[in-house]
Structure formats: C-alpha cells, structure tokens
Structure 1
C-alpha cells in the first residue's frame, strides 16, 4: 500500500508541475481564434477565395469559378465546439529514458498540453489508454466508467479486454480528472496492441474532430498503419512520436547489458565495436523513416518529441508551423 500511495503522490506531483509549466509557457504564445492544436478546415460553408496551389480541389466553388472564369475554393468555418480524443500508449517500452526524462513522462506531458490547448469554450476531450496487458481505461477513473467489459459467450467480465473508454466531456475540471487518471495508470509488462488502441477511436463513429495518438510507435508498422489511415478519413489526426536518443544510436561505453522492457530478456552488447554502432544507427534510422512514411501516407500530422530536448518548445514550433501552413493554403 505504501508503494501504491507513493506512486500516486509522485503522479500527482508530476502532473501538477506539468500543468503549471504548460499554462505558463503556452498562454500568450498560442493565443488566437482557434479551438484546438490542429485548426482544421471545419464543416460550415464560408466565403470563397481564389484557388492557390496546395488547396483541396474537393472544395472547389464551381458556381463562382464559372462566373469569374477564375478557379475559386469555398472556405469553411471551423466548428466552435471541438471534440478531441487521445489514444495514449503506455506500453512497457515507454518506461525508458536516458536523458532529461522517461518517455512515459513525455507521454503525460503531451497529453497535458493537448488538454490545455483544446479544452476551452465548451470543447470536449476523452481518452483511451493502452498498457502492456491490453487496452484499458486508466485506473481510478471510475467517474467515466459506464459499462464493464463482458466476454462474448459467458457474459463474465473479461480481464484481458476492458474496452471501456472515458467519454469526451467539456470543462477544465473534467480534463484535469482525465489527466490525473492517466498519470495514475501503472505500466504493465508486455506489449499493448497499438492498432487495437487506435481502432477504439474509430468505433463508434463520432462527429468530426481531432484524434491524437501519443506513442513511441515501436510496434510493427503494419499493425497500426491501417487504423491510422481509417482514422484520418473523418478526423484531423496528430501523431505524437516519443523518442529517446539511445534508441537512435548507441554510445561507446564498452559492454552494455540491455533489457527488453516488454519481455524482460537481457542481452549484452559490445558498444566499443564501431561496426555494431553503425548498423544499429542505420536500423534505427530505417525504422523511424518507415514510421514517418506510414504517418504521412495516412495524412496525419507528425510531431516528434525527444527526451533530450525542450519538448514544450518543440510543440510551440510545431503548432506555429501548422497554423502558418493553414494560412498559406497547405495542410501539412
């Protein structure tokens, strides 16, 4: 019990510092007439303007084009109420970090920033969380629980498939409760099914909004690429990739014992071998390039946060670039 209480106290302290940091740094830097991190095109018809390279041809305003003999596109007005859903990956591989923080700390930081940027003016935010034992709602999130997961044949509760999500609710108080529940979630051994986690945002179909997937995307690309593409058909998708520098290259420190956090397997590596370090860096580069290609093919915006850099500054730059691209007629 002491261990659980200490873990809860640490989660509360970390979350409190994050919320204070996010509020201080983001307020005043990202103000404007936007309802979320990704200011999407919206769905309500607005005024027309001349076509610019990069505009979506599906928004061509043909009557105005015919009258003026110049191509025009129809602007749309973003909905005033935004619904944001977070798919938060807390697999065992996230319990790793060799720089300023653990990757799991960055996951919580990203979720906190998303909540701060989206919960205003009646906007709603909800979440699903994946741990090493599967996809589940965070612990102690009972106020969001509505139904218990049941087995398909016996009607008994299924411990391996608690497919209960936290419904999207408006208000900062509800968002803080959601973040507190995520912070208290214990990472379990094993690997979460990232594809199944993302698929939970596709079912049931929801109104158009923002879907944010926060993960290290270490799972095989073929397992989650299709759900992300499906998610992008209806929603603006933001993929937040969390990376540690040691996942990209190995330091020259002699013999190093590496442990797989998802399986517990140990492996000794002679990092003094330059050929080994070169092959490792190449393989890591190919893996990250495959992740970027899959996200780009799905039409998702891609934000990479590293444990050895100022993640908040990286996020501010990303949001500014996104909004600048929108004003120039391009989306990504």
Structure 2
C-alpha cells in the first residue's frame, strides 16, 4: 500500500517536473544561480547583484562598478535545512506550515535529483536532529519524505526554537561548497539571533531562505474571546481578539518582528522568499524560478 509520502511524491512529480524542469536551462542547472567556481565574464553592476561579486580592481580602473560572473557547476550538491520545531507544527484542516514545508522540501529534492544532482537534508527540532547525507535518485527523495513524515508525527519538544543552533549544525555538517536551502518560519525567542549563523553559511555556500508564514500570525482575525497557546512554550492566555487596544498592540509587535526579520535577511545577503500556508507551494516554486531568471538577465 502506498504511504502518504509515496502519494505526495507521485502527485508532485507530475506537477513539479513538468512545470518547473522545463523552465531550467539544461538538466544540470538549478532554480537558483550558483556562483560556481570558474570565472566567465564581467558586466556592469545592477542593484540586484550581490556586492560580494564586485570586482574591485576593474571597478577602480573604470570608475564604475563591475561584477564577476561565473559558470555554474554541472554537478550540484544541495542541502535542505528543515525547521521541524513546535512553531512549524500548527495545522488547520490539513494545511499549515508543516504541510507547506513538506511539499516544498519534497518538490525541491525531486527537482534537484531529477537533474542527476545529489541532495541531503537536515531535519531539526530542539530535541532531535536527523542528518541524511546527500544522494541522488527518486528512492532517496522518498526516504527524505518518509523521514519528514516520521519526524512530524513525533511530539515536538516544548521550548523556543533554537534557530541559531540549527544553522550552526548546518555549517558544521555541510563541508563542501553546496546550495543550502533553509526552510523555516524564522520565528524564535531569540529574535534574529540566527543572523550570524546564516551569514556564516554564505561565506562558503550559495544560500536561499524560504520563510513559511501562516496568515494568522500576521493578521489575527476577530474571533471574540479565544484561548491562545504558544506552540513552543505551551503557555495559554485568554484574549479578546476584538479588543481594539489588543489588536493595536499585536499589530505593532508583528510589524516590528517582520521588519527585524526583513532587515536581518538583507544584512546576510541571502536570497529570501516568503511562502504563505494559503499558497500553492508549487506555484510558489514557479514564481521563484521566474524571479531567479529575471535577476540573471
């Protein structure tokens, strides 16, 4: 009997490989531009370019900023760093951050391995971490899907998400230059204490952050008196979601948190994408491909 992971992969293969793979220029290319290792050309700097690729010698001679372009590696090793902490487990009618993360992870893994590339995964929550070494092939993608399924079935340990610890583990695990895709809500008690860890990853790897958000976290609907529980600490409080003062305070806190996360992402220089739980993850991946192509032009 086919498991949920088998059914998910079967459904995604039809949509992912037909809709995404055809948009990639060659079987070895990824949906994200890798810096590669071989210098190819120079061109004028544009505001979308990574400042780390500026050729300062040429810039000084021509008195205009120029960036180096590199050929992309024909064989790619990709790593999925997956936040499976308590705050990512909230589900409503089968849809939520956990389900969105699963579809994104399986879709990306199949897309990478379809081109003959290897993909590894780091499954992280505060209590347990699972590292799946990079391999290629559909069977390996199924293994990743099964491991996510098993990890999601476990009761997540209470406590604030240690995102800094997750990124430290990623830096210690991924030794060779790779594409590292971090999938998380980037919400933790430490605020943006994950910023140094994400920056450290960029020193050696091409890093992409996919932030999964639930619309309820950004704009709590007016539901009257409700009991709200912190997914990570288990703390429960009774709140009046219709109280104008409560809504104003909550809006200010959410705005401050979102601004802090956006600013930290910009400082790290990481390509960041936001995927809502109400979105189709496959449509979100298509949009990422198109955005990456626009940046390369």
Q: TM-score range by the shorter chain?
A: 0.7 to 0.9
Determine the C-alpha separation between the residues in 2 that align with 1:280 and 1:71.
Answer: 43
**Which of 211, 220, 227 in structure 2 is aligned with 1:250?**
220
**Maintained 8 Å contact 1:103/1:242:** yes
Deviations 1:265-321 (A, max 9, x none): 221111121221122122112212211111111111111111122332222112211
Matched residue SS, 1:84 = strand
Deviations 1:49-89 (A, max 9, x none): 443444557553968x97x9998655321111111111101
2:140 corresponds to: 174
1:208 and 2:165 equivalent? no
**Maintained 8 Å contact 2:24/2:31:** no
- Could you tell me how far 1:14 is from its partner in structure 2? 4.1
1:81 and 2:75 equivalent? yes
**Maintained 8 Å contact 2:17/2:111:** no
Matched residue SS, 1:239 = strand
User: Number of matched residues?
Assistant: 290
Q: Give the superposed CA RMSD.
A: 2.9
Stretches of structure 2 that go unaligned for 5 or more consecutive residues are: none
Matched residue SS, 1:201 = helix
Determine the C-alpha separation between the residues in 2 that align with 1:57 and 1:201.
Answer: 22
Stretches of structure 1 that go unaligned for 5 or more consecutive residues are: 138-164, 328-332
2:166 corresponds to: 197
1:303 corresponds to: 273
Determine the C-alpha separation between the residues in 2 that align with 1:256 and 1:69.
Answer: 61
2:150 corresponds to: 184
